[in-house]
């Protein structure tokens, strides 16, 4: 049949499985087809539609309007997180790899933390990967300024700073370090502490409430619950994408689709899903790097017990941080979480766990993320499922130990009466910072820690040659004219800070370039 009319779907302009279920085939065409609606995809749509191009957005996840968000953790994991948060990397330990899967991508469920690409990282990329031949740091800075204005970036105000963040500030200063309020993309934050479950008030400027609606208002069309499978070519140029509608929760199948791209197909599906699409379609083979060089920021948290109430249920979810030790490859930040999340982090089971949960309102939680040097990989296994392999180096674990020790010191400096380190080999509860020194006598084994992996990079890296990189300096796949990658897959390494702003900025620059390129 012909192009699906947006008037037959929701007033929002987003078509999902229920809107097309009666059709045998959904076809549409546009200047650019973008796969993914997170930081990279939504930014690309915002820039390209502003330049007057016709755009289709393809999103595997569902669209959950703010009014339909629920506060319980189970609902958010079921509807907003990939594989309900059970996606893991295999190594010596199984490490959860956290990603959102919804209209807006991971921006819907992240902590709203905004950082600019550190200049030393840009300099590293320039020296070793020729990124300076693609864009300057000055160009990035100009885009960062624009993003700040459009996404309401700024520190949490006093009214919603919250006790957890106040205590971390005391702890950071108490060990002689410098810290700062986190810059966040939130407009008039209400302090609901629900960033990781989807903002219940729509104040966080995630892509589903910012750049996606902007692009739709300019004529873009977004197909949700829509799984891209095949990239097809015409006359030696990638010219579209095929796949099928699929409910990611119920696995109910819908019609197949075929979307034609007159100018380009842009992959913005993340450093996990983008390389799998490239692999499935045979692109990027010359370098043998598609799906390789996966880097991330492994992290863990420490819990402090305080005499006075902390009340993690109120305040900016993540409002204070320190990059004082960034050059030692670590960054610290406050972390609020609901009771259900905290239960997985507390010691004990059954009645013992119930007793622990009685103190929930007196708990503070802070985390450390490591700019790890390990590389992993992403491929399909024999059954067609995603297989992520990643294992921290011993040197990464040594940094993690030092980070945990510093977190414990911060907790006691802020007045904690006890700390729950969450490290196998240490007591469940410790009463002084000196007890943390036992960390350094433990083996360098990732199984000792409750780690998660966030912020994913490098599986389709940018570079000059098709033999040493997957995409060129315009982010076009070397052996696939018309196919581009604008997400963090192209980043040569991890960054040591939260990447959303850098992903948006690189996508912005590449989208401007694509909009003006003659085809």
| Domain range summary for the chain, segments of one domain joined by + | 6-63+208-293+457-516, 67-98+153-198+295-374+393-450
Quick one: which of 329, 275, 307, 357 has its CA closest to 120?
329
CB atoms within 10 A of CB 137: 16
Q: Is 7's pLDDT higher than 80?
A: no
CA distance 512 to 146: 14
Structural fold of domain 6-63+208-293+457-516: FAD/NAD(P)-binding domain (3.50.50)
Give the confidence band of 9 by pLDDT, cuts at 50, 70, 90: very low
Identical fold between 6-63+208-293+457-516 and 67-98+153-198+295-374+393-450: no
CA distance 222 to 41: 11
Q: What is the pLDDT of residue 12?
A: 65
Structural fold of domain 67-98+153-198+295-374+393-450: Cholesterol Oxidase; domain 2 (3.30.410)
| Residue 379, φ and ψ in degrees, nearest 5 | -150, 175
How many Cα atoms sit within 13 Å of 282 on the Cβ side?
3
Q: What is the pTM of this model?
A: 0.95
Q: What is the pLDDT of residue 356?
A: 73
Q: What is the pLDDT of residues 293-333, one digit of tens each?
A: 999 999 999 999 999 999 999 999 999 999 999 999 999 99
Note whether 266 and 474 are within 8 A (CB): no
Give the confidence band of 519 by pLDDT, cuts at 50, 70, 90: low
CA distance 389 to 391: 7
Give the confidence band of 354 by pLDDT, cuts at 50, 70, 90: confident
> Strand pairing partners for 176?
none
Output 86 or 346, whichever has higher pLDDT: 86
Note whether 304 and 418 are within 8 A (CB): yes
CA distance 275 to 285: 11
CA distance 492 to 212: 27
Burial grade of 257 (CB within 10 A; 0-12, 13-18, 19 or more): buried
């Amino acid at each position: 049949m012909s192009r699906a009319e947006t008037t037959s779907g929701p007033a929002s302009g987003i078509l999902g499985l229920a809107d097309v279920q009666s059709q045998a085939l959904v076809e549409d065409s546009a200047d650019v087809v973008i796969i993914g609606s997170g930081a990279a995809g939504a930014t690309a749509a915002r820039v390209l539609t502003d330049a007057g191009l016709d755009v289709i957005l393809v999103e595997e996840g569902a669209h959950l309007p703010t009014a339909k968000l629920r506060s319980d953790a189970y609902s958010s994991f079921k509807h907003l997180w990939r594989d309900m948060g059970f996606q893991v990397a295999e190594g010596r330990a199984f490490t959860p790899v956290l990603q959102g899967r919804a209209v807006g991508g991971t921006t819907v469920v992240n902590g709203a933390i905004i950082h600019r690409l550190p200049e030393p990282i840009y300099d590293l990329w320039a020296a070793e990967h020729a990124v300076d031949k693609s864009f300057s740091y000055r160009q990035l800075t100009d885009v960062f300024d624009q993003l700040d204005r459009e996404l309401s970036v700024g520190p949490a105000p006093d009214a919603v700073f919250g006790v957890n963040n106040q205590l971390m500030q005391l702890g950071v200063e108490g060990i002689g370090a410098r810290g700062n309020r986190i810059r966040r993309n939130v407009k008039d934050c209400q302090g609901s502490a629900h960033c990781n479950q989807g903002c219940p008030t729509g104040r966080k400027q995630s892509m589903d409430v910012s750049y996606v609606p902007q692009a739709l208002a300019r004529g873009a069309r977004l197909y949700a619950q829509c799984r891209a499978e095949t990239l097809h070519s015409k006359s030696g140029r990638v010219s579209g994408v095929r796949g099928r509608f699929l409910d990611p929760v119920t696995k109910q199948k819908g019609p197949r689709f075929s979307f034609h791209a007159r100018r380009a197909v842009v992959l913005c599906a993340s450093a996990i899903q983008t390389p799998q699409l490239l692999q499935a379609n045979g692109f990027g083979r010359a370098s043998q790097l598609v799906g390789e060089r996966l880097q991330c920021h492994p992290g863990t948290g420490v819990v402090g017990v305080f005499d006075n109430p902390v009340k993690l249920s109120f305040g900016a979810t993540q409002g204070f941080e320190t990059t004082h030790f960034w050059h030692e490859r670590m960054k610290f930040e406050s972390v609020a979480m609901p009771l259900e999340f905290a239960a997985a982090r507390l010691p004990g089971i059954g009645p013992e766990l119930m007793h622990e949960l009685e103190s929930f309102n007196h708990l503070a939680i802070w985390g450390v993320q490591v700019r790890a040097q390990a590389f992993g990989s992403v491929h399909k296994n024999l059954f067609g499922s995603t297989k992520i392999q990643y294992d921290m180096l011993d040197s990464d674990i040594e940094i993690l130990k030092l980070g945990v020790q510093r977190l414990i010191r911060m907790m006691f400096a802020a007045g904690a009466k006890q700390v729950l380190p969450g490290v196998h080999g240490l007591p469940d509860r410790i009463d002084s910072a000196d007890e943390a020194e036992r960390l350094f006598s433990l083996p360098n084994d990732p199984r000792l820690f409750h780690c998660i992996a966030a912020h994913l990079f490098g599986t389709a890296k940018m570079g000059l040659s098709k033999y040493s990189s997957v995409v060129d300096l315009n982010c076009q796949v070397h052996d696939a004219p018309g196919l581009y990658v604008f997400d963090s897959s192209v980043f040569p390494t991890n960054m040591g800070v939260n990447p959303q702003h850098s992903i948006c900025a690189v996508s912005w620059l590449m989208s401007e370039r694509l909009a003006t390129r003659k085809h």
